[in-house]
Chain A
Amino acid sequence: MKTIRLGSATGWARDRFEPASQLVRDGRVNYLCFDSMSEVTMSAAQVQLMEDASTPPYDPYLEPRMEPILRECKEKGIKIITNQGWLDPEAAVDKVLEIAKRQGIKNLKVAAVCGGIIADRVAEMGLDFIETGSSIADRSQDIVSAEVYLGARGIVEALKQGADVVITTRVADACVYLGPLAYEFNWDFNDHHLMARGMIVGHLLECGTQISGGYFADPGYKDVPNLHDVGNPIVEVTEDRIIISKLPGTGGLVSEQTCKEQLIYEVQDPARYYCPDVIADLTKVSFKQIAPDEVEVFIHEAGLPRTPTLKALVGLNEGFMTEEMVLFAGPGAFARAELTKEVLRERFKRVNLVAEELRMDYIGMNAVHRESSPLAAQEPYEVVLRLALKTKTRAEADKLRREVDPLAVNGTSGTGKWATSSPGSRVRPVVGLYSALVPRELIPATLVVKDLEGARHESSVPDA
């Protein structure tokens, strides 16, 4: 019986680097899967590119992630599936081919799954934002980024064409797992129960160690052995079994509890988890611990047919934001922080600060759970006043630091400062994210496969 092992190398763009090499060396995996996206990734990359044209249009960590593993993956026949292509997956393909040439790797095929970026045409599609119901066309001047979540078909096509490395633009994160499974087991994309099976496997693995002991430890309640050495997860899939484990000889924990937490992580209605290729019913999933750090996943007919639309994220220019901190400790810390707040409010009036929004929090007291924080039972030893400002223009946002830095000499007694030696501006552009549903027929996905000899083959992805 065919057995496929997928290793989860990263759960997001800035995840740890070492696990990829460990998985290649010790994981006995057939595929190494990288998720590098969160909701804000594409719009943030677009802003970065606008601020500094020398920024690569793909994940800037592509090179340091591929460099140490590319040769060994090719030698062992481990295929790499990654969504690090971001704004320009073909440019990412060229970078990987360049690394391969430098390392003297032979016969490497690298594929780009493209086509989901619609920033230049989303305003003409006659669509409305889901959040506000208002027309996208009305905000066409403010559009920074727009991309749909593609499904797994492009990845399957790339593997069919013999790609060793598949680099995608935005796909639903779990597709970097569904793709190789659908390819290896020759799944019919119209079989929604099979699609749901693959999508749920992907959903469980897409956040990396969040299923193997990361984001789980709560000392005295949920203890995780050797969290510093947490092992990345591996899923072993056959026609009829799914078993989640982790890198052998590492820390961390794969238990029914870690799996349960991840099953409904970042999900709205668990009975209808919308994905590009299927709607998955997560309430049909259960787990059983079959050995230490090995959990079997049971999925019973969990698919519903896919929707006629794909979800798009649209990033809109919404001005600028900045933040500052002022530090206090010891006797009267809280009273001095309160006085500082008053002083700043008066000084903001004098410089006619026009704020879209202004927040003042006390870190250590109410900055994390905000207005839901319980009142402090006793006065804290330390108080950090944190100020955050949103404005329409950059010049307006600059006013915050211009009033906070002077507190070093004209604020309250014992006023401590944060990062004053860092020159330049902490002001950054704000991109508000909205979503919309786009008819599938408006999104023709394409596949580009390149090799080391310079061949380039472009094809359309059937019914992406």
Chain B
Amino acid sequence: MKRMTLREIAHSRSGEKGNNSNVSVIAYRQEDYPLLEKLVTIEAVRKLYGPITKGGITRYLVPLIGGMNFVLEDVLEGGRSRTLAFEESGKALSSLMLTMIIEVPDEIVERSVQVKQGGAA
């Protein structure tokens, strides 16, 4: 087993709905999706977003695209219209997800290595 950041096997996009934000986690390779399902749990996500998420965190699975959707409630200091947060849209929250440290089997190849070698799909 080895440690890497989530960024090495998954990509992410985030946005807003009122005072909630959603952050997706999508496997670069469909075969890595079960690993995501096992590692990227609500508990792991709360460790990252807990300090700013005042409400619940829900995980929704979307296996056909090898992805999942996290909904963070009450995370935007009131939502775009009234927030005092400097970043008001939730669109920058995805990059925090990618900092998650995960432990994966040795044979998993990092995305950054694949891209460098030109073999990334």
Contacts and interface: CB of A to CB of B under 8 A. Distances in A.
Interface in A184-223: 215-216, 218, 220-223
Interface in A116-170: 131
B65 A369 contact: no
Contacts, number: 142
A215 B85 contact: no
Interface in A262-289: 262-271, 282-287
Nearest to A357: B84
Interface string A314-358: 010010010100000000000000000000000000000000011
Contacts of A359: 77, 84-86
A266 B16 contact: yes
B24 A388 contact: no
Contact of B87 (A267, A323, A367): A367
B103 to A, nearest CB: 19
Contacts of A266: 15-17, 22
A363 interface: yes
Contacts of B93: 369
Contact of B28 (A44, A257, A268, A286): A257
Contact of B69 (A38, A43, A264): A264
Interface string B58-76: 1011111111010100000
Contacts of B112: 220-221
Contacts of B28: 257
B92 A369 contact: yes
A433 interface: yes
Nearest to A255: B121
A361 B86 contact: yes
Contacts of A388: 84-86
B93 to A, nearest CB: 7
20 contacts: A220-B115, A220-B116, A260-B26, A263-B65, A266-B22, A268-B20, A286-B65, A315-B81, A318-B82, A321-B84, A369-B92, A370-B85, A388-B86, A430-B81, A430-B82, A431-B81, A431-B82, A432-B82, A433-B18, A435-B18
Interface of A: 38-40, 43-44, 131, 215-216, 218, 220-223, 257, 260-271, 282-287, 315, 318, 321, 323, 357-359, 361, 363, 367-372, 374, 386, 388-390, 430-433, 435
